A and B are shown apart, each in its own frame.
Chain A
């Protein structure tokens, strides 16, 4: 009976969401009265494992193998599966990263189990553990439970738990349990090649104090100047949700969301953005969020401090004018 948190590293660097998930694991462990263990897999991960051992954990597992140097779904699935068979946890938690999305469902299926992914929380409902996740692009929430025996697999969305709430080890760091896994190169069918970036100009939206962002509601590229006029009057950077950048209406480096930049400006003004999860994870840390959208049920209003329900094509020019006047 234990909760296993699988931490993520790449090239010796922690993924920041690892600690958020560890915080979730510690809280769930306290709620269920179960010990919490953490695992990190890779090559040359001694230092990382030592750092994990300074947190409040019953055990730390270091899964080390030369073939885990670069991430592959086959390698990581086999390695974590072996660890799970050895330690038999009841719940296995992951951060909901691109890497986890690539291998954790395979791992669960390999063991004939289910995975509840991209969770934003959990709760105990009359003794039954349910995980809370969003559906329909954030328009509804759902409580999902596991059926049958564990291990149960779940991953937590970015920002669902706070990394600064990770409890430190009381009474000094725990010893690290090294796990040697059986892994042969012929088991790994995919060949990972070079990592690269495409954006040429470096627009660092993370440093922008004010951001005006546009979404599908802008409808056509010829309408973008209206949003740019608002941004200019406000002295803000212009940004967008994914579909706008996919269409090439704004360059990719102006994309906010899980596949773009994550920002936390003083003000985020969302124009015609519905607030799909993939966008919201990139901007929900903004200090003040203003949403203007024709659909009063758009999920963006769940996180907005101020809102206008209406046609952005009427409000954008009015807003640009009022902003000019206020200067």
Chain B
């Protein structure tokens, strides 16, 4: 089977973030980047499905030149080839715009399955996979823990609220958005890293994919969140901070 995995490159978890001079995005100057975590789980699921059923795993990523590093890492883990939608202004696109580009790159390839993470750690919209399914005219399901491929169909385990799950069946091709944590992520092997160097990364531009769609949503301003509470911070060494905290817990919060 042919599986597409749409991945995104996002700032490293725990990066210090500050709005940039435009006030409409964050300052990326000193940031390092990595694969969006839920997308790493989507890639892992794809690689496991390929191991079971054979076929091909193709990585799809829209982003600037630096995204090539994340694409290369996905190839080193075992993806067969990649399509890089080269764009420097990903931030200017909304979900519909990005999903249109991704779908345009996927459509002529006619994959059996398209996987992506349930949301990105940067924007966190959680919509791209669902919108891609609509644009491609295929069924989808979101927040998936596990996927079992049968003849021409797929059975998935979907996470619901409050500890509930549901099995859902649908015909292929389909789009699934994957939840984090459902598999153990693999590391790239030395052999994998070596092999990745000769794997194909096809670079395409937005105009080659029919151009971006009209913008339907715009980020007006990015800012550090306003505190909803005044936090009293206890200073000093560990012992002194712990003692101050315990005193509060005893005499003000009254839980001791």
A residues neighboring B (CB under 8 Å): 73-74, 97-98, 101-103, 105-106, 108-110, 112-118, 125, 128, 130, 133-148, 189-199, 209-210, 234, 242-243, 245-247, 252-253, 258-261, 266-267, 274, 277, 288-291, 295, 297, 299, 301-311, 314-315, 317-319, 321-323, 325-327
Contacts and interface: CB of A to CB of B under 8 A. Distances in A.
B238 A314 contact: yes
Nearest to B249: A267
Contact of A326 (B17, B121, B250): B250
17 contacts: A105-B134, A109-B134, A114-B217, A137-B13, A139-B224, A139-B225, A140-B17, A142-B222, A189-B171, A191-B168, A209-B255, A261-B162, A277-B124, A303-B228, A306-B248, A308-B242, A319-B246
Interface stretch (B53-61, B74-82, B92-100): B92-100
A197 B182 CA distance: 16
A266 B255 contact: yes
A190 B217 contact: no
Contacts of A74: 139
A267 B253 contact: yes
B19 A140 contact: yes
Question: By CB atoms of chain A within 10 A, which of B14, B127, B142 has the most?
Answer: B127
B141 A135 contact: no
B206 interface: no
Interface string B200-217: 000000000000001111
A199 B159 CA distance: 13
Question: By CB atoms of chain B within 10 A, which of A97, A140, A311 has the most?
Answer: A140
Contact of A290 (B96, B214, B238, B245): B245
Contacts of B181: 242-243, 245-247
Interface in B156-214: 159-171, 179-182, 214
A39 to B, nearest CB: 20
Contact of A198 (B14, B26, B163): B163
Question: By CB atoms of chain A within 10 A, which of B26, B94, B155, B161 has the most?
Answer: B161
B25 to A, nearest CB: 9
A198 B162 CA distance: 11
A293 B142 CA distance: 32
